[in-house]
Structure 1
Amino acid sequence: MYYVSHEGQQMGPWPTDEIMKQLKTHALGWSDYIYDEAKEDWIFIMDHAEFKAHYQTEVPPVKETASPSTPPPQGSTQPGDKEWFVLKAENRYGPFSYVELVRMLQEKNLYEFDYVWNPSMTAWARVAEVEEFKPEKIRGLKESGQADVQEVFFRRRHARANYGASIIVHNNKKVWKGETIEISAGGAGLKIDNPDLQPGQTLFLHFKPGDGVPPFNAICTVVSKTTKSGGPSYGVKFTSINRTVQAAIKDYTEKVAA
């Protein structure tokens, strides 16, 4: 029996069969979290010993030289179908819908040098090499007039605000100190005393209280890195966070923006 975490909400305990059922119906994603009693920590479902073999049979291995993919047949997937997977460094995430990937591109959570794959492709390919993500395709999507698509281009999913608080960061091996630059209900901008973190890595954060937001813990994924004279700063996306805390952050950012 296992506990899982989806969108910051803990669920379970569930047997292996139930979790596999939830994965097949996309109620859970392979990048959701499961509590590993042996490690006494939360890890990706895809990385858990019980589920790793199932994940590897559903997503193709990375080829040493990923050549440009043949464009999938027109109409083979719909914008809302969750059939896309993302590869960052050696970490695989998904499934996502096409619209979700476009949103990730707009929000700089996905880059042209990252790899993507869906079932109609024979190999992983860089975003820049896939027909669906060519500028003219994105432009056509933007001009389609669909309400959910327009939101991708004209609204941030979460309001952001400058925010100052000390943080403790660890990756299950080492611990670093840091501070926040900005925050939203979906993620944060951080300065961390480590110049070697890379997009795709998972971090565990402890935020000290600040500016009306209570202290809290969160699991996040590094989605961007910017190096300036003052040292590197990182953009992170929360993958597991208490909903009450998330609501408090949302109230704070909206109050600051008002």
Structure 2
Amino acid sequence: MSQAGNALGPFSQGELKKKLKAGELSYTDFLWHEGQESWRMLAEHFASDFPPPKEPPPGISVSGEKKLIERQFGGETFAQDLGISNEPIWFLFRDNTKFGPYRYLELVRLLQTNACGPDDFIWKPGFDDWTRLRQVQEFEEPVLHKLVHLRNFGTEKVFIQRRFPRIPYESEVILHDEKRVVFGSARSLSEGGAFLEVAKTTHQKGDRIKIHFTPGAVAVPFNCIAEVTQVTKGPPMGYNVKFIYLEEDDRKRISQYAEGVVARSEGAK
């Protein structure tokens, strides 16, 4: 390893991962191992470690004997109002990629924020095949209209009057698309996306990229998969991105931080 000009090591693969997780090493540090012609960054060496979207089991057509039975727990079900389970049983198929499992409210949130659309395909245990979201009873307009008026299960955060508040944010980021690694800085952040400043734009609108956010005001580093929604030629030069895949724990941390910033800003008025 080479860190700030100092040689470290040798380390095993497992030791490197532990040091990265503990913050003792950075993805921008350089690595060399036997058989390698030159030094390269840890971000390139561990590129395959960026988490891919979770996928449902292959062979989505399920026989009657193997159909999973939805568990109906009082704390996880809208039984009294809608009779819809909020267990994590929903899968989404979009842009030739399978995502999930999601809870019902999580999928509604994706629909409300345009992260998925009525013509995307969804599946849950009991379905014979993928079905367009708009054709599924749980997502029909009358059902969603009833859901708006519920005050349980965080529904007030699902049906929003505007997109997630984008707040100023500072953090180093690493962008990766399986072919190249680009370094930049996050300049704003929300649970729905971010603006990333880069020295030179190398991607186009619609491109999918993997992003590693180093610790900032959100103290825990996190990875995500995002789609470029706008390329800005600057200044500053960079990308507006929409999060396609983000771990729920990371989304909650971002949401809590953003809500705190907005609350402090409104309190100062």
Q: TM-score, normalized by length of structure 2?
A: 0.53
Match of 1:205 in 2: 212
Correspondent of 1:113 among 95, 116, 119: 119
Query: Which structure: greater strand fraction?
Result: 1
Match of 2:186 in 1: 180
Gaps of 5+ in 1: 3-8, 11-36, 48-53, 62-74
Match of 2:229 in 1: 226
Deviation of 1:45 after TM superposition, in Å, equals: 8.0
- In the superposition, relative to structure 1, how do residues 257 and 44 fare at CA in structure 2: closer, same or farther (>3 Å)? farther
Q: Matches of 2:46 and 2:212 in 1, distance apart? A: 21
Q: Matches of 1:247 and 1:131 in 2, distance apart? A: 30
Q: Matches of 1:106 and 1:247 in 2, distance apart? A: 16
Deviation of 1:84 after TM superposition, in Å, equals: 1.0
* Per-residue Cα deviation, 1:188-227 (whole angstroms, up to 9, x for no partner): 32246311544xx461324486xxx3787421122x5534
Q: Matches of 1:118 and 1:127 in 2, distance apart? A: 11
Secondary structure class of the residue paired with 1:163: strand
Q: Matches of 1:204 and 1:214 in 2, distance apart? A: 15
Gaps of 5+ in 2: 1-13, 15-20, 23-44, 63-78
Deviation of 1:82 after TM superposition, in Å, equals: 2.1
Deviation of 1:103 after TM superposition, in Å, equals: 1.7
Q: Matches of 1:205 and 1:41 in 2, distance apart? A: 11
Does 1:171 pair with 2:169?
Answer: no
Which amino acid in the other structure matches residue 161 of structure 1?
Answer: I
Which amino acid in the other structure matches residue 58 of structure 2?
Answer: Q
| Contact persistence 1:218–1:240 (CA under 8 A) | no
Match of 1:21 in 2: none
- In the superposition, relative to structure 1, how do residues 118 and 88 fare at CA in structure 2: closer, same or farther (>3 Å)? same
Identity rate, percent: 19
- In the superposition, relative to structure 1, how do residues 104 and 168 fare at CA in structure 2: closer, same or farther (>3 Å)? same
Match of 2:145 in 1: 139
State which structure, 1 or 2, has the greater radius of gyration over its C-alpha atoms. 2
Q: TM-score, normalized by length of structure 1?
A: 0.55
Which residues in structure 2 correspond to 1:23-172 (within 5 Å)?
A: 41-44=49-52, 46=54, 55-57=57-59, 59-60=60-61, 78-144=84-150, 146=152, 148-154=154-160, 160-163=166-169, 167-172=173-178
| Contact persistence 1:112–1:127 (CA under 8 A) | yes
Which amino acid in the other structure matches residue 149 of structure 2?
Answer: E
Deviation of 1:241 after TM superposition, in Å, equals: 7.8
Secondary structure class of the residue paired with 1:82: coil
| Contact persistence 2:54–2:101 (CA under 8 A) | no
The number of residue pairs the alignment matches comes to 197
Match of 2:36 in 1: none
Q: Matches of 1:139 and 1:86 in 2, distance apart? A: 22
Q: Matches of 2:102 and 2:218 in 1, distance apart? A: 32
Q: What root-mean-square deviation, in Å, do the aligned CA atoms of Structure 1 and Structure 2 show?
A: 4.6
Does 1:239 pair with 2:247?
Answer: yes
Q: Matches of 1:235 and 1:38 in 2, distance apart? A: 23
Q: Which structure is higher in RCO with an 8 Å CA cutoff and minimum separation 6?
A: 1
* Per-residue Cα deviation, 1:59-108 (whole angstroms, up to 9, x for no partner): 459xxxxxxxxxxxxx8972312221011212212122222211222233
Match of 2:40 in 1: none
Q: Matches of 2:119 and 2:87 in 1, distance apart? A: 23
| Contact persistence 1:190–1:235 (CA under 8 A) | no
